Structure 1
Amino acid sequence: MWTTIWMFGFNPWLLSHVLALEEPAQHLEINPPHPQQVYRIQQTVFTLTENNMSQTPTARHVTEKKSLLQRLARTQGRWNEHHPRHRLLEALRGFSSYGENNLAELNRLKDLYRHASKQQKALLESTINYSSKFTSISDLVVKNQDLCDAIVRNALDFYHIDRAELERHTRGMTAAGRPADKVSVSQALKHLVRDWSAQGASERDAAYPCIVKALEGIAKRYYHHDQRLNVLLPGAGLGRLGHEISQLTPKFEVTNNEWSAYQNIIYRFLEANRQQNTIRPFIDTWSHHKTTPNMLRGVPFPDTPLNVDDVLLVEGDFTTTFSRETGYYDVVITHFFIDTARNLMSYLDTIHRVLKKGGYWINFGPLLYGSAPFVQLSLEEVLVVAEAMGFSFSVGDVPQGCGLESLEGKGVFGMEARYGFDERALTRNAYDAQFWVAQRW
């Protein structure tokens, strides 16, 4: 007996889910729109899953992995809390401690609940069964810890770190009275929603279309169709924008860059594990929820497969990791990035240096500076300094419909961009994000 499924193009992602059916057919016939093209998968194919479909690393992935492991070696530089291996071990400790930290917080909230009066508790329990939230969240913390454990196992393998080393590091930091970072883990897990879930589409759609249209316009107007443009995205987070760009035509050679070890070890998990997982990202905060089910809900990820071959992640600080990449990139895209700088001038210097003459800098994001930056420039000051460095801002390179002019005649446009991870929350964070396309001369 045949089961027939129509597919518009041969889609391995869809095929893997078909092959994962609990009761697969003895034979499967996949018919594209043209009847003369028929793919028949015999029963032996059902041994395939997304998790064991291997890809041979590209040459640049192999080269970068070798360089990364060298940078992570304890013998490279001075060993302190800023050493990349130390930061990596701290991130691994943070994910390993997710459950412990969140259960401790849950116990704190239980203790606070005891201060409610007997009559108040009786009402809360009889109407909404308030105590059941503690039980539900406790169970979901365990599920999230299972995911965190899988992320850690994958990272130990990828970075060639023995678990005994992580345990020694953990004991040393605990003895020194240094708790594992809870906030960075929580924020990194929430980025899975923003970058790799269907629920994050509303935030992505505020910025990605304009960036992509600008990039496509640059490729169409200034480069030959057979030329593969080099695109760098510093501060790429979990890398969704880079993967969107890698799917465009003409093709781009995409390099993501991210400093945060917390983000990077999640990304390595995404690279290595093709099956869909679920995170409960909102159980660690009790504020701004419309309903309890919204707070407890699971978010599936990724909503689309990663294009691993065409995107390279380079880990490390943007201003130092690319110190040898002078004049290499055709385009640098800074998405919610430049205001993260401790020294904005170092960011601008690096963007200018890594770009080819005639290359482009596309920016989209706010100017929300951190707690101790060396310099804090207004939008107008950023433009003046960038122009003095050799950038020109062109209205003609900004796609139609991408915001309103922020400064008259300057080629910079502002548009509202939300940033908050949870589309169902009772609060919204929005920025007047600044969008420009500047050419380096």
Structure 2
Amino acid sequence: MADGEWDGDFDPLADPDEQKHLLSVLDSFRSYRRLAHFNATHVRRQAFYSLPSEHWGLLSRPPFSILDSLSQLDDLIDSNAELAEAIFKVGFKAFIAPALDSEWVAKIVDQKSVHDEFLVYSTVMDHLTFRTTQESFQNDVDKARSTVHQFYRDWSVAGAAERAKCFDPVVNALEEEFAQRLKESPGLDKAEFKVLLPGTGLGRLLLDICRAGFSVEGNELSYHALIASSLVLNHTKTIGEYKIAPFALQCSNHLSRGDQFRTFQVPDIHPGVELEKASEGRKVPASERMSMAAGDFCVLYSIPSARDTVDAVATVFFIDTAPNIIRYIEAVKNCLKVGGIWINLGPLLWHHASRLQCSGEEHEEKSKSANKHLGAGIADPGSVELTDEEVVQLVEHFGFTIEKHETGRIETGYISNPESMLQNIYRPSFWIARKNDIAISI
């Protein structure tokens, strides 16, 4: 992957609404430090001092030392913010900086700040008009916080347990499929086996598939994930460059403060070094076998030019992001070659079920917004929530043969704290479907 670049027809600055959204996403990372301090410690200090004085006095002293814990939490927020602000800077440089007038920037930036990249970019952000609704910005803030925490799952040593449950079955299935094809076509090179990974997230599985020798294209719609993955894949300087405390802001169900305040170094590997290793003995360098396409999966992979272009599609914790899963199935079928396989692993936590929870004016406004993008894929109006059995039946209806289907065998958390008193466990469905050479219509 080239520094800060993504493949495909991707220019968020070409559309005013898209530009506003991008700026809001950047602002959510920029604001991580300020908002986390306010919501996690300032508000709690106020609540603490609202206790009867003899009570907060008692809890201020050892062995409780609540005020000391809040100060420690402030330090951990600053540590997390280093990563959030690094993501902000990568996104700003990739999308905003190239379009800026240098003379205008020189006029608005204080000379004392010119050597501080973050302050320069932050000053520019303060002078740009992009404010969205409070609800929309809060949503972006929540996603920024979640993105920082997701580095624990994708890019820490401790996150390997979750990755093994979710990523290893996919890579193993690809290896088995390639081994079978190699028997049929001796001399076939792994680089000729093309994999598509929709919902790439922070890019760890993308890298792992490339390291295994395959050619892989990631696809991602979320600016939060796109920019964060660019940081780690293209701009990592050292292993363990950032220290994060992914559970620090969650103040419930901890056995001890030590559990709450545990820190982890990310990334656990250097992607650039790993790509160099993955190039050894290969006909095609790893850097040429890995790419990222930004945009709506349904739009990018339903068009004629995408037809029959990949040997495998891998979806991990992805298909439940579809309001209408038929759109996803159609896109997979379009881009997958006849005889190709679709590997899926994940639960069915239908992300768009919230569309049904609004009513009246709010429902009408969301419907108008969706209709404005009718036919644009994930923005289509309408949604439906299916069971695993119904999803598999639907996949078969569209001309796939289910060759493997397992439920209940895998148990995994998602950015879960193994020391927490509350454990949320997914039991994802895992299936492999092969595209048949038949035409199916609805």
Q: Does 1:386 align with 2:395?
A: yes
Structure 1 residues 174 and 135, CA, compared in 2 at 3 Å: closer, same or farther?
A: farther
Q: Does 1:139 align with 2:75?
A: yes
Q: Does 1:104 align with 2:38?
A: yes
Structure 1 residues 207 and 63, CA, compared in 2 at 3 Å: closer, same or farther?
A: closer
Matched with 2:141 is 182
Question: Matched residues in 1 for 2:180 and 2:415: separation?
Answer: 36
Q: Does 1:115 align with 2:50?
A: yes
Matched with 1:21 is none
Partner letter of residue 436 of structure 1? Answer: W
284, 292, 313: which one pairs with 2:292? Answer: 313
Partner letter of residue 369 of structure 1? Answer: W
Q: Does 1:287 align with 2:252?
A: yes
Identity of matched residues, %? 27
Question: Matched residues in 1 for 2:91 and 2:150: separation?
Answer: 18
Question: Matched residues in 1 for 2:7 and 2:297: separation?
Answer: 18
Q: Does 1:173 align with 2:113?
A: no
Matched with 2:371 is none
Q: Is the 8 A contact 1:64 1:314 kept in 2?
A: no
Number of residue-to-residue matches in the alignment: 358
Partner letter of residue 301 of structure 1? Answer: V
Question: Matched residues in 2 for 1:414 and 1:259: separation?
Answer: 30
Q: Is the 8 A contact 2:196 2:310 kept in 1?
A: yes
Could you give the per-residue CA deviations for residues 367-391 of structure 1, whole angstroms, max 9, x where no partner exists?
A: 1112236111111211221111100
**DSSP-derived class of the 2:91 partner:** helix
Shift of 1:89: 1.5
217, 221, 224: which one pairs with 1:255? Answer: 217
Shift of 1:353: 0.8
Shift of 1:332: 0.3
Structure 1 residues 159 and 199, CA, compared in 2 at 3 Å: closer, same or farther?
A: same
Q: Is the 8 A contact 2:219 2:297 kept in 1?
A: yes
Structure 1 residues 207 and 158, CA, compared in 2 at 3 Å: closer, same or farther?
A: same
Partner letter of residue 377 of structure 1? Answer: L
Shift of 1:64: 6.4
The gaps in structure 1 that reach 5 residues or longer are 1-56, 399-404, 407-412
Counterparts of 1:277-356 in structure 2, within 5 Å, are 277-306=242-271, 307=274, 309=287, 310-322=289-301, 323=303, 324-356=305-337
Q: Is the 8 A contact 1:420 1:428 kept in 2?
A: no
Question: Matched residues in 2 for 1:131 and 1:335: separation?
Answer: 42
Q: Does 1:433 align with 2:428?
A: yes
357, 363, 366: which one pairs with 2:347? Answer: 366
Structure 1 residues 332 and 172, CA, compared in 2 at 3 Å: closer, same or farther?
A: closer
Question: Matched residues in 2 for 1:287 and 1:439: separation?
Answer: 45
Question: Matched residues in 2 for 1:201 and 1:298: separation?
Answer: 15
Which consecutive segments of 4 or more residues in structure 1 shift more than 4 A?
61-64, 174-180
**DSSP-derived class of the 2:410 partner:** strand
Structure with the bigger RCO (C-alpha within 8 Å, sep 6+) is 2
Matched with 2:379 is none
Shift of 1:155: 1.9
Matched with 1:93 is 27
Matched with 1:19 is none
**DSSP-derived class of the 2:243 partner:** strand
Structure 1 residues 133 and 264, CA, compared in 2 at 3 Å: closer, same or farther?
A: same
Question: Matched residues in 2 for 1:191 and 1:421: separation?
Answer: 10
Question: Matched residues in 2 for 1:230 and 1:124: separation?
Answer: 59
Matched with 2:89 is 153
Q: Is the 8 A contact 2:7 2:291 kept in 1?
A: no
Could you give the per-residue CA deviations for residues 68-123 of structure 1, whole angstroms, max 9, x where no partner exists?
A: 5x52232x5xx32xx2x333222110010011111211211111112322222232
Could you give the per-residue CA deviations for residues 11-51 of structure 1, whole angstroms, max 9, x where no partner exists?
A: xxxxxxxxxxxxxxxxxxxxxxxxxxxxxxxxxxxxxxxxx
- Aligned-pair Cα RMSD in Å: 2.5
Matched with 2:107 is none
Could you give the per-residue CA deviations for residues 233-263 of structure 1, whole angstroms, max 9, x where no partner exists?
A: 1111111112111121xx2111111111111
Greater Cα shift, 174-183 or 292-301:
174-183
Structure 1 residues 338 and 177, CA, compared in 2 at 3 Å: closer, same or farther?
A: closer
Partner letter of residue 88 of structure 1? Answer: L
Matched with 1:267 is 229
Matched with 2:410 is 415
Structure (1/2) with the larger helix percentage: 2
Partner letter of residue 291 of structure 1? Answer: S
**DSSP-derived class of the 1:314 partner:** strand
**DSSP-derived class of the 1:257 partner:** strand
Could you give the per-residue CA deviations for residues 155-193 of structure 1, whole angstroms, max 9, x where no partner exists?
A: 222235344663344x54179897453211111011100
Q: Does 1:197 align with 2:156?
A: yes
Q: Is the 8 A contact 2:4 2:94 kept in 1?
A: no
Question: Matched residues in 1 for 2:137 and 2:394: separation?
Answer: 41
Matched with 1:37 is none
Question: Matched residues in 2 for 1:329 and 1:230: separation?
Answer: 5
Partner letter of residue 47 of structure 2? Answer: L
Matched with 2:369 is none
Structure 1 residues 192 and 420, CA, compared in 2 at 3 Å: closer, same or farther?
A: closer
Structure 1 residues 67 and 335, CA, compared in 2 at 3 Å: closer, same or farther?
A: closer
Shift of 1:435: 0.5
Question: Matched residues in 1 for 2:48 and 2:12: separation?
Answer: 45
Structure (1/2) with the larger strand percentage: 1
